[in-house]
Structure 1
C-alpha cells in the first residue's frame, strides 16, 4: 500500500506523469504551493507577471508540442479569459491544463467567484475532483482530453482538496512526442471556426463527459438522490454512509462541463427528490433546475463553502419545496479580523516599514484608490487609509476617475501585473494623479516572490518621479512631499522603497 499524499502532491504527480515540460503561474491562495513543487522539479516552470501572460506563454508551448500547465487562483481566471475563450475555437497543440484554485469561504481573496463558470463561457471542459486519487486521475485525463478536443481544460481545486490525504496509485508516465498546432485551422473563417467547433468539438466533449467511469454513482434508494461535485462529494459520502441516511443515492460528478446530461437525466428520473451539493455557486443546479431539484436556489444549501452540517440540514428539510434562510452577513468583528487594541488593522505587520506612510495618507483629505496587496488591509477601521480597491493593479486607473487629484496606492507587483496600463492611460490622457508605489521588490502577500524592477520604465513614462527611502524619510517630510505633489497638475509618481520585514 502506497503512503498517503495530499491533493496538491497528487495534482503535481499527475502533471509530471502526463509528461509536462512547461508550467507557468501567478502566485495566490490556494495554488502557490503547487507551483513551488513544480519549480523545484525538472519542468521548465516559472512565475509570470500576470495570468494572461502565463496562459499565452503556455499556448505557445502547446503549439510547439509541449504539454503545459497554468496555475492561477480564481480571480486570475478573469485576467486570462481573453486568450482562453479564443483558444477554444482557434485550437491548440499539445495538452494544456489550467489549474484554477477557488476559495470558498473567502479565506484569502477579494471575492468568492466560481471558476466552473469559465467552462460555460469559454465552452471548454471542466474537471472538479473530490479527492487526491480523483485529482491525480483527473489531471492525467485532462491532458488526453485537451489533445482530443484541442482546447485547454480547466481543473478546479480548493484548499480542502489540496490538504486532503489518501493513498494514490500512479500509472505509467506518458512518453514520446505530443501533437503540435495544426495550421489547417486557418482554412476556416472566424465564423467557420465557430461552426466547426459546434459541429465537431463540443459534441466530442459531451461524449467524453457521459463516458462510463467518469463519474461515481452510488445507487442506494429511489426516494432521495444527491448530485455533487468537487470536495463536497467526499463530505456527502461520509454523511450518507451513516445509518440515518443509508438509503440516499449519490451521483458524484467529476467532469462538470459539459454536464453528462444522459446520466443526470436518468438519475433524476429514478428519484422523487434531488438535492444538489456544490461550492460556491449553483452552477450545476442552474442547468438542471426543475420541479423536484433543490439546492441553493431553493434555500436548502448555502452559497460559498459547504460544511457537513449544511448537507445534513438540507436533507432534514428535503420534504420542503422552499427553505427560508435568515441572512447574517459576516463582519470583520465576527470573523476576528478587527483589532481590539492599538491602531493597526489586524494582519498588518507591526514592523511594516510603510506604517508611517499610511499614517500620513490617512490624515490627508483626498481620495485614495488602493490595490489588492498588503495596503488593502489599511482600508477598514481603525486605519481607514484606502477608500476603494477593486482588483490587483486597478488603483491607478481608478484614481484617474476622481473629481480631484487623488492618490493611487499600489504595490510593485500590482504595478507589474496590470498597473502599468493604468499609468500609461493616465499619461496619455494628461490626467492628474499621484501614484505611490510600495517598492519592496517582492509579492509579499503570496509568499515573497521576486518582482521585476520597473524604475526605468516608470521614469521614462513619468519624468516627475521621486525615489524615497521610506525608512529614512520622516512623517513630516513625507507629508510635505505628498502635499507638494498633490498641488501639481498631471501625473506624479513616488517610488517608496523599503525592505519587507517578513521576507
Structure 2
C-alpha cells in the first residue's frame, strides 16, 4: 500500500477519497488468483441460482452489472423500473427465478407493484438489486433503498464484501421462495469494485414453484393477515439465525455496522472494540442487536446513507442522529473520529453544503448537437422544466437554462403546472420511461406548453442504450408536432416563439446524433 503521507501531499487529492481508495485497493494488491470483484460475485450468484431472466433500467452504479451478464442469462433493459419489476413478477408467477437491477431512484418507480407483491405472494424467487449512490456521484439525489424494505415489509440484505454479496443473492432467492415475497439487496459502487474470495455453490437447495392461486380465496385484508401469519414470522426467524450476521465480542464498547462500511470498520477497529456486522437489516434481528447493546456500555452504529438501523433501536446508541457520523457516504476518517468521541453523548457537526464550484460538474459536451437549441431557449423569457437526461447539465452556469428538474420523465408534468405557457425539455428515453404519461395528461386536460423532445435514439447519460422511436405515437396524439434538425440552417428562436404564441400543446422532435454513440 502506498505511503499515505506521500499520497496526501499531492495537490488536489481529497482526504476522504484517498483514504477510502488506498485502503480498499489493498485488497487488489494482496489478492490471490481466484479472487473476484463484487460485480463478478453478483453475476456468479445469478448463474448459480439458476436465474432465468434479469430486467432493469440503466444508471449508476448498476449499468455494468447488467452488461456483465453477457449471453449467459437472458436479460433486457426495460422502459422503466415498474415495467421491469412487473415482468420479473410474471416470470416468478410461472415458476422461473428472476431479478431486477435498478439504481436507487428506480426503487421509487417500482414501489407500486413491490408493496403489493408482498401480500399478493409470488412463485419462484425474485431478487431486486438496488444500487445506491452515497455521496451522489451520478444521481439526482441521495437516498437509502433499505427504507423500501420497511415500507413494503420485505427482506433487505446489505452485504459488505463480494463474498457476502454472493451468499446474500444465493440465500435471497431461497428466502424469497420461503416467504413468497421479493427480496431487496442493497449495494454500492464501492462494493461492486471491491475484491475478495468467493466460494461458488452451484446446487440450489430448493425447486422454484409457481404461484399458488389459492391466495385468491382471501380478501385483500385477508392477504395481509396471511402475510403476518406466515411470511413475516419466517422473515424474522431467518434474520435471527442468519450466518451473514457476525458477532465479535472484544471490549466494553462496540460497533454495529452494515453494508460496505463494515469493511471500513474491519480495517481500523481498535482491538478493544466489539463488532456486530449485520448482513440482513430487515427484519432487524432485534434479539441479537439487543444482546449486543446490553453487553456494551457504548454502541456506535455505522451505516450508509440514512440512520435506518439507528432509528429502529429503542436503547440509546451513537451515530448519525447524535452527530458522531455524517449522513450519506461513510469514509474511514469518519469512523475514526466517531470512535474518538465514543464517550460523548453528542458531537457538534458543521454541515457545509457542497457547491458545484468546489466539486466540479460535467458540462454539456462541446460538440453536442443540441447547443444551438439550448442557446435559442436561453434567449426566451419563459419557465423551463428539464429532465434527468443530458439536459440536466444545462442547469448550471454558463447556460443556467432550467428552472426545475425533479425526476426522469417529469419535465412535461412539471411544465403543465407553470402559471404561463412554458417549455418542457425531455430526452426520448425520459419520454418513453414515464414522460409519455405526462404528455397524455397534458392533452387530456388541455394544458398550454411546448414540449421539446431531444430525439437522439439513445440513453446517452447511461451508456448509449437504445430507445424506442415514439414519433408515430406522438405525432398521432399531438396535432402540432414538428420535426427539426437543431444543426440545420434554421431560425430556431423564431420557431420556438411561434410555438409559444400558439394555443394548446406543441411538440418539437429535435433529431440529432450523439457524437459519443
CA distance in 1, matches of 2:242, 2:74: 35
Cα shift readout 1:229-269 (whole Å, capped 9, x = no counterpart)? 000000000011xxxx1110000000000000110010000
Secondary structure of the corresponding residue to residue 99 of structure 1: strand
Query: Structure 2 unaligned runs (5+)?
Result: 1-31
Out of 346, 352, 355, the residue aligned to residue 331 of structure 1 is: 355
Q: Residue 419 of structure 1 corresponds to which residue in structure 2?
A: 435
Cα shift readout 1:57-101 (whole Å, capped 9, x = no counterpart)? 000000001100100000000000000000000000000000000
Q: Residue 141 of structure 1 corresponds to which residue in structure 2?
A: 171
Matched, 1:35 2:66: yes
Aligned counterparts, 1:425-464, within 5 A: 425-464=441-480
Q: Residue 18 of structure 1 corresponds to which residue in structure 2?
A: 49
CA distance in 2, matches of 1:213, 1:401: 52
How far apart are residue 148 of structure 1 and its match?
0.2
CA distance in 2, matches of 1:473, 1:218: 70
Secondary structure of the corresponding residue to residue 487 of structure 2: helix
Q: Residue 284 of structure 2 corresponds to which residue in structure 1?
A: 259
CA distance in 2, matches of 1:180, 1:398: 42
| Equivalent pair of 1:18/1:174 in contact (CA under 8 Å) | yes
Matched, 1:497 2:511: yes
Q: Residue 396 of structure 2 corresponds to which residue in structure 1?
A: 380
Q: Residue 335 of structure 2 corresponds to which residue in structure 1?
A: 311
Matched, 1:281 2:306: yes
| Equivalent pair of 1:65/1:177 in contact (CA under 8 Å) | no
| TM-score, with structure 2 as normaliser | 0.93
Out of 167, 181, 185, the residue aligned to residue 151 of structure 1 is: 181
Q: Would the alpha carbon gap of residues 175 and 463 (structure 1) be closer, same or farther in structure 2, given more than 3 Å must change?
A: farther
CA distance in 2, matches of 1:161, 1:197: 32
Cα shift readout 1:472-491 (whole Å, capped 9, x = no counterpart)? 144xx111100000001100
CA distance in 2, matches of 1:10, 1:51: 23
| TM-score, with structure 1 as normaliser | 0.95
How far apart are residue 2 of structure 1 and its match?
4.9
How far apart are residue 347 of structure 1 and its match?
3.0
How far apart are residue 133 of structure 1 and its match?
0.3
| Equivalent pair of 1:2/1:169 in contact (CA under 8 Å) | no
**How many residue pairs align between the two structures?**
486
Q: Residue 40 of structure 2 corresponds to which residue in structure 1?
A: 9
| Equivalent pair of 2:174/2:206 in contact (CA under 8 Å) | no
Matched, 1:479 2:493: yes
CA distance in 1, matches of 2:99, 2:38: 16
Q: Residue 211 of structure 1 corresponds to which residue in structure 2?
A: 241
How far apart are residue 31 of structure 1 and its match?
0.3
CA distance in 2, matches of 1:79, 1:326: 34
Aligned counterparts, 1:36-51, within 5 A: 36-38=67-69, 40-51=70-81
How far apart are residue 174 of structure 1 and its match?
2.9
Q: Residue 63 of structure 1 corresponds to which residue in structure 2?
A: 93
How far apart are residue 212 of structure 1 and its match?
4.7
Secondary structure of the corresponding residue to residue 101 of structure 2: strand
Out of 101, 116, 120, the residue aligned to residue 86 of structure 1 is: 116
How far apart are residue 289 of structure 1 and its match?
4.3
CA distance in 1, matches of 2:188, 2:59: 12
Out of 287, 291, 300, the residue aligned to residue 324 of structure 2 is: 300
Out of 213, 229, 253, the residue aligned to residue 224 of structure 1 is: 253
Matched, 1:234 2:263: yes
Cα shift readout 1:404-428 (whole Å, capped 9, x = no counterpart)? 1100000000000000000000000
Secondary structure of the corresponding residue to residue 84 of structure 1: helix
CA distance in 2, matches of 1:13, 1:214: 18
CA distance in 1, matches of 2:62, 2:482: 36
How far apart are residue 381 of structure 1 and its match?
1.4
Cα shift readout 1:91-137 (whole Å, capped 9, x = no counterpart)? 00000000000000000000000000000000000000000000000
Cα shift readout 1:444-482 (whole Å, capped 9, x = no counterpart)? 0000000000000000110100001222144xx111100
Secondary structure of the corresponding residue to residue 467 of structure 1: strand
CA distance in 2, matches of 1:176, 1:201: 17
Out of 343, 365, 371, the residue aligned to residue 355 of structure 1 is: 371
How far apart are residue 217 of structure 1 and its match?
1.3
| Equivalent pair of 1:367/1:387 in contact (CA under 8 Å) | yes
How far apart are residue 209 of structure 1 and its match?
0.1
How far apart are residue 177 of structure 1 and its match?
4.8
CA distance in 2, matches of 1:142, 1:41: 23
Cα shift readout 1:371-409 (whole Å, capped 9, x = no counterpart)? 011001101111111110000000001001111110000
CA distance in 2, matches of 1:42, 1:336: 39
How far apart are residue 172 of structure 1 and its match?
2.0
Secondary structure of the corresponding residue to residue 419 of structure 1: helix
